[in-house]
Amino acid sequence: MDPSERPFLEVESSLSGQRWVERASRIQLGWAQAMAEDHDIDRLIARILAGREVEPDQARQFLNPTLRELLPNPSTLTQMDEAAQRLAAAVQRRERVAVFGDYDVDGATSSALMHKFLSHCGVASEIYIPDRIFEGYGPNIPAIEQLAEAGAQLLVTVDCGSTSHESIARANGLGMEVVVLDHHQVSSELPDALAVVNPNRDDDMSGQGHVCAAGVVFLALVATARELRNANWFSDKVPAPNLMEWLDLVALGTVCDVVPLKGINRAFVLRGLEVMRQQKNVGLVALARAARQDGPAAAWHLGFLLGPRINAGGRIGDAGLGARLLTCNDPSEAEEIANRLDGLNSERQAMENEMLKQAIDEAEAEIGLGEGPAVLVTESETWHAGVVGLLASRLKDRFRRPAFAISFDGRGIGSGSGRSIPGVDLGAAVRQAVEMGRLEKGGGHVMAAGITIKREQLGAFRTFLEERFTEQVTELSQNRQLKIDAALSARGATQEFFDRLEQAGPYGAGHSQPVFAFPGHTISHASVVGANHVRFSLRSPDGAPIDGIGFRIADEPLGKALLSNIGSVMHVAGMLSADFYRGRRRIQLRLLDAAEIPDKNSP
């Protein structure tokens, strides 16, 4: 029997209803052995890599990804040469450029990258980030007219624009040329721009569809610098920029947009973290201080500390704050902006908690006593439109199914966000719903989507989702598994062990963090802390301790089991993380699941 076919530690159904299985298949265990023997790779690291479908001949490059080997020729992206030539011409002619970005982290980092490049070349540029509530996603005609009136000759859209047909047509009519640098899923009908560079367009064969917008912009800057170099434009007065110094921005956009950490994305993040640790970006230094970042920059800092604060500006405050911070060179100004973003993030958290209570009540009422709908669709006229994406994510995690949260205004127009589970392509469904007239607008990725909907469309949209996903979601829910990389004890969870794990990082989308089972550990302490979290301590059979945290589980079966079984012995599963406390690093467990130990004497 293949290891993945039998339950790990005999856990058929855990406290969260999952079957525990070994991640690596028999074939992958063979790969791990080959890696360890042929390439002198630590056996545990080899096992982790093999379980994530890294084959033996790929291991060395995977562990040490380099831009030199992995950076694609930008020209392989459709219309990249046209985009680079137009950007180079704008530099040579000192034209005024408008950079139109999205209001999330990927949009802010993409905008900052383009602005830094143009500024280095002495070109005047203005970043325009739309207001999420009043303008919505992507270029809009009033903003285009404002930028044209201000004298913009070239419009560059970043992390948006692939579906902005009317706005780009208006820009053309006002005498602006348009270059689109985007990565969102898109139909075959593209806007009438000079160039639409998007690795996810149907006719793009570059194989870079996993790259976020910041990565696409970086490739565009590589191509533009090449054009200028070939034209002998750079000089002692204006030397060619060192694009590597801006990889911290690319890493931030890559991690926060949750794109797969494979190929060039791994190199972007690893090299970007190295740049970030050099603390060259004044804005990022100020934000790390405001976020109370502990220790050197790590991938989780980007996703859980820095990213949410940049997003907070776009969600409930000034959408342009993030891009201004990332392009700021004045430490005092950067500190002021960073503190504003930190404050907005605290406001967002309080707002989210209140909205989440309402959303959970609505979802539970919709589910009732049965299985409920395959896709949750919750809505309210009192919710802040900037927070609905977070609500959808929380609902998806709690009820383990795709979820939408929609904020309706007084006119009956709803702005919503959806979040999906692995195996359910939400972006494709939303595009189909738009084509069928079930939505006004919509788009996104496999795992996330944004929509605009009229209240009278709500019933038809719910019906569409049920018809499309009921069978698929039901099958996924009946086969829920937690993949375990290996068994571990509290005594073995040392700092040295954690450092070995980090060799196979960074972890994230498409390269999940290792999950370990702690067999037969005693729950020596458990208590509720913060916003519904459970802090606990485990003790191994030989008496070694380890502390842990379970996020937002206090009122769920998993959290209740920990709180009510102090002194009991259980199997526990989770991921290791490093925590800096009063300047000292300690290893703790981030809880994913737990299981009661079967009584072998029971009939």
Task: Tell me the pLDDT tens digit for each residue of 238-296.
Answer: 999 999 999 999 999 999 998 999 999 999 999 999 999 999 999 999 999 999 998 88
Stretch 116-142: mean pLDDT, rounded? 93
Q: Which uninterrupted H or E stretch holds 393?
A: helix 388-399
- pLDDT-based confidence at residue 1 (cuts at 50, 70, 90): very low
pLDDT at position 301: 93
- pLDDT-based confidence at residue 520 (cuts at 50, 70, 90): very high
Q: 119: helix, coil or strand?
A: helix
In 3D space, the residue among 153, 244, 251, 135 whose CA is nearest the CA of residue 194 turns out to be 153
- pLDDT-based confidence at residue 106 (cuts at 50, 70, 90): very high
pLDDT at position 206: 97
Stretch 5-32: mean pLDDT, rounded? 93
What's the CATH code, domain 71-343?
Answer: 3.90.1640.30
Where in 475-552 does DSSP place strands (E)? 481-484, 486-487, 516-529, 533-539, 545-550
- pLDDT-based confidence at residue 446 (cuts at 50, 70, 90): confident
pLDDT at position 599: 65
CA gap 229, 220 in Å, rounded:
14
Stretch 411-421: mean pLDDT, rounded? 94
Contacts of 506 by beta carbon, 8 Å cutoff, 6+ apart: 255, 261, 266, 269, 270, 273, 298, 299
Stretch 200-225: mean pLDDT, rounded? 97
With a cut of 80, say whether residue 423 has pLDDT above it: yes
With a cut of 80, say whether residue 595 has pLDDT above it: yes
pLDDT at position 126: 96
Length reported for the chain: 603
Stretch 399-403: mean pLDDT, rounded? 93
Stretch 124-149: mean pLDDT, rounded? 93
pLDDT at position 317: 86
- pLDDT-based confidence at residue 477 (cuts at 50, 70, 90): confident
Stretch 566-573: mean pLDDT, rounded? 96
In 3D space, the residue among 101, 136, 143 whose CA is nearest the CA of residue 451 turns out to be 136
pLDDT at position 603: 46
CA gap 573, 13 in Å, rounded:
13
Q: Which uninterrupted H or E stretch holds 464?
A: helix 458-478
In 3D space, the residue among 421, 419, 350 whose CA is nearest the CA of residue 391 turns out to be 419
Residue 260 buriedness (CB in 10 A; 0-12 / 13-18 / 19+) = middle
CB 9, CB 517: distance < 8 Å: yes
> DSSP alpha helices (H): ranges in 128-164?
141-149
In 3D space, the residue among 196, 207, 165 whose CA is nearest the CA of residue 73 turns out to be 207
**Number of helices followed by number of strands (H, E) in the chain:** 21, 18
> Distance of CA 229 to CAs 154, 222, 241, 242, Å?
21, 10, 11, 13
DSSP classification of residue 4: G
Lowest mean pLDDT among 153-162, 217-226, 357-366, 417-426: 357-366
- CATH class held by domain 3-23+485-596: mainly beta
CB 78, CB 201: distance < 8 Å: yes
Q: What is the CA radius of gyration of the chain?
A: 25
pLDDT at position 369: 59
Q: Round the average pLDDT of the chain to a whole number and report it.
A: 93
The residues pairing with 548 across neighbouring beta strands, listed in sequence order, are 536, 589
pLDDT at position 3: 47
CB 154, CB 138: distance < 8 Å: no
Q: Name the CATH code of domain 368-479 (choices 3.30.70.2190, 3.10.310.30, 2.30.30.100, 3.10.28.10).
A: 3.10.310.30
Percent of the chain scoring above 90 in pLDDT? 80
With a cut of 80, say whether residue 205 has pLDDT above it: yes
Where in 198-342 does DSSP place strands (E)? none
pLDDT at position 188: 83
